[in-house]
Structure 1
Amino acid sequence: MPFNKSHILFRNPFKYRRKTPKRTSEKKAAFFIFIVIIALCIGIITTGNFLKSVSSEMALSDATDMITATINDKINEKMSGGQYTYDYFVNLQKDSEGNVTAISANMARINTLSSEILQEVIAATNNGELDLKIPIGNLLGSNILLGRGPKIPIKIIMLTSSFADFKNELSSAGINQIKHQIILEVKVQIDVLMPWEVKSTEVLSKVLIAETIIVGKVPNTYLSLNQP
């Protein structure tokens, strides 16, 4: 059979090289983008929750400081007149030798003063409400951003469960000497209304308003000022 050049087949060496499908690359890219988006979303949510928590605590702290300052200012104003001395609240009964035999509290005066102070604290607010504006930089806990940024409105509401009371503390001041301190204790329940949540807390303020040193033999039992 004669040789026919037309029967010779020339194969393309590149014809059977495996190629990566284009769709596979696109799927991988799409999957990678999807993972990145999910990671970003998780990061944003986590960061947002953390910032909310930090901001809430900072706002609560500022609200507590504001209420405490208001309470202390009103107590100091009330006590600055000099009318409310130790003898105003307490009567000391002594025997013929000058020894204290009993300590009696004037509960009527104590209750009246407690009520007046609490009313003045409430009167210092707008019917038991206070408005507070905190720069957003303060809520981020950064000294660099302190006092910077737009101000976030915070509302503080004093609840009706607030009350004022007197406590007494007795401690040794030496041989046959007892220090008797009268302490005004004001507890204010507040709600702090933030744009993202509402938190409740109790503000406790204690102020020493009178004290004396009782010299001589002191009875073992006292009429407690803690009694209503």
Structure 2
Amino acid sequence: MFRRRINYYPYLLITLIFIIICIFLIIDYKLNASIIEIAKAKAQTTVVQDINTVVNQEIVSQIKYQDIVDIHKDKEDRIVLIQPNTIVLNRMMAATSFEVAKSLDNLSAENIEIPLGQITGSKILAGYGPLMKARIITVGQVYVDVLNKFEEAGINQTRHLIYFNISSKVKIAVPFLNEEINVSTTIPLAETIIIGEVPETYVSVSDDKVPIYPFIKK
């Protein structure tokens, strides 16, 4: 009698299907990772540009250094104290937070378009292929901090810069995927050149006196 031959075909077919599924899952995972990273990068750029535009147009363009900083001098015209106008700054911070939040809400109604060719990582194909749409959704509050910096600007000259650090959180939504990212940008508000000796202390926004000289950078 002849021994019955074992039919390996079903086993090979199952193995092949399993391998194909694994390959598909790996490709799908890598594609999803690429899509979300590209969407995050585009969203970061879009949001930062939007914040910079609205703040420069609505806030910075209407402010001068003298509006937000009081410089006190002695009888010999020497600067003895640099003090920010906290009332004006707080008003500006509130207006900035409102304008940025409103702008981000308007941005949520728009879509970011990503050419699928960009997912391949090829510079040649980056601008080609069907467009995938991603949405930017505001999920966090807008935070505004006042920062300042003193730096040497020449012989016996010191530059004083005041700027806003603005941060928020947004969600990037693409088909079947979404992820939250933190977005922040720094926007110069005003600056001036202090000629001569600078005072030893600077009154911060919180009304605390802090030494100026550690802030001065060469």
Q: Would you call these one fold, judging by a TM-score over 0.5?
A: yes
Deviates most, 32-41 or 193-202: 32-41
Structure-2 residue corresponding to 1:120:
99
Question: What is the aligned-residue identity percentage?
Answer: 27
Maintained 8 Å contact 1:179/1:211: yes
Question: Which whole-Å CA distance do the structure 1 matches of 2:162 and 2:109 have between them?
Answer: 30
Equivalent in 166, 169, 184 of residue 146 of structure 2? 166
Structure-1 residue corresponding to 2:126:
146
Read off the aligned partner of 1:124 and give its amino acid letter: S
Query: After superposition, where does 1:1-228 map in structure 2 within 5 Å?
Result: 23-24=5-6, 26-27=7-8, 29-79=9-59, 81=61, 83-126=62-105, 129-132=108-111, 133-225=113-205
Read off the aligned partner of 1:199 and give its amino acid letter: E
Question: Which whole-Å CA distance do the structure 1 matches of 2:193 and 2:71 have between them?
Answer: 12
Maintained 8 Å contact 2:68/2:85: yes
Report the TM-score when normalising by structure 1.
0.80
* TM-superposed deviation, 1:129: 2.2
Read off the aligned partner of 2:144 and give its amino acid letter: A
Question: Which whole-Å CA distance do the structure 1 matches of 2:85 and 2:36 have between them?
Answer: 43
Read off the aligned partner of 2:91 and give its amino acid letter: T
Structure-2 residue corresponding to 1:4:
none
Question: Which whole-Å CA distance do the structure 2 matches of 1:166 and 1:227 have between them?
Answer: 13
Q: What CA deviation, in whole Å up to 9, does each residue of 1:35-93 have, x standing for no partner?
A: 22222211111111111111111101111111111111112212564x31111110111
Question: Which whole-Å CA distance do the structure 1 matches of 2:141 and 2:99 have between them?
Answer: 16
* TM-superposed deviation, 1:166: 1.8
Report the TM-score when normalising by structure 2.
0.83
Q: Which has the higher strand share?
A: 2
1:226–1:134 CA distance, 2 compared to 1 (3 A)? farther
Maintained 8 Å contact 2:164/2:186: yes
Corresponding residue SS for 1:39: helix
Question: Which whole-Å CA distance do the structure 2 matches of 1:99 and 1:158 have between them?
Answer: 48
Read off the aligned partner of 1:70 and give its amino acid letter: D
Q: Which runs of 5+ in 1 are unaligned?
A: 1-15
Corresponding residue SS for 2:201: coil
Q: What CA deviation, in whole Å up to 9, does each residue of 1:12-43 have, x standing for no partner?
A: xxxx9xx7x5632x22x333333222222111
Q: Which runs of 5+ in 2 are unaligned?
A: 209-218
Question: Which whole-Å CA distance do the structure 2 matches of 1:221 and 1:182 have between them?
Answer: 16
State the aligned residue count.
Answer: 207
* TM-superposed deviation, 1:127: 5.3
